Amino acid sequence: MKCPKCGQENPETVQFCRRCHAPLRITCPACQHAQARGEKCEACGVDFAKYAMILGLQMKTQATQERERVRSRGAVIKQILLLPITGGFSLLKFIRDRLRGE
């Protein structure tokens, strides 16, 4: 198999070029089927470009979800931290109002 990058002749069994280490085979991310080249998996028909895009989208969604989770957790922590302050103020106000009323 000729390396598409440097033209080095390689045995059919190797997965990377012996000279420049460029990948000579593409491994399908869905079914792990290895093939020489192409945009589509010969075994399961997965479109490599589309698959990579879907994976990228999934990772992006996960990252967004993680951010949202951290943000909402931060809001809860903020509420807890503010609770003694707001609670203390309203308590003071309550006592003051009670004292004034009597």
Nearer to Zn ion, 44 or 91 (CB): 44
Q: Across the chain, where does the E strand assignment appear?
A: 26-27, 34-35
Using only C-alpha atoms, the chain has a radius of gyration, in whole angstroms, of: 31
Nearer to Zn ion, 44 or 63 (CB): 44
Query: Could you tell me the smallest distance in angstroms from the CB atom of residue 66 to Zn ion?
Result: 29
* Residues near Zn ion (CB under 5 A): 3, 5-6, 8, 17, 19-20, 22, 28, 30-31, 33, 41, 43-44, 46
Q: How would you classify residue 41: left for phi > 0, otherwise alpha for psi between -120 and 50, otherwise beta?
A: beta
Nearer to Zn ion, 2 or 78 (CB): 2
Query: Could you tell me the smallest distance in angstroms from the CB atom of residue 23 to Zn ion?
Result: 10
Query: Could you tell me the smallest distance in angstroms from the CB atom of residue 1 to Zn ion?
Result: 10
Nearer to Zn ion, 19 or 96 (CB): 19
3-state helix, strand, coil in the chain (%, to 5): 55, 10, 35
Q: How far, in Å, CA of 45 to CA of 22, rounded?
A: 24
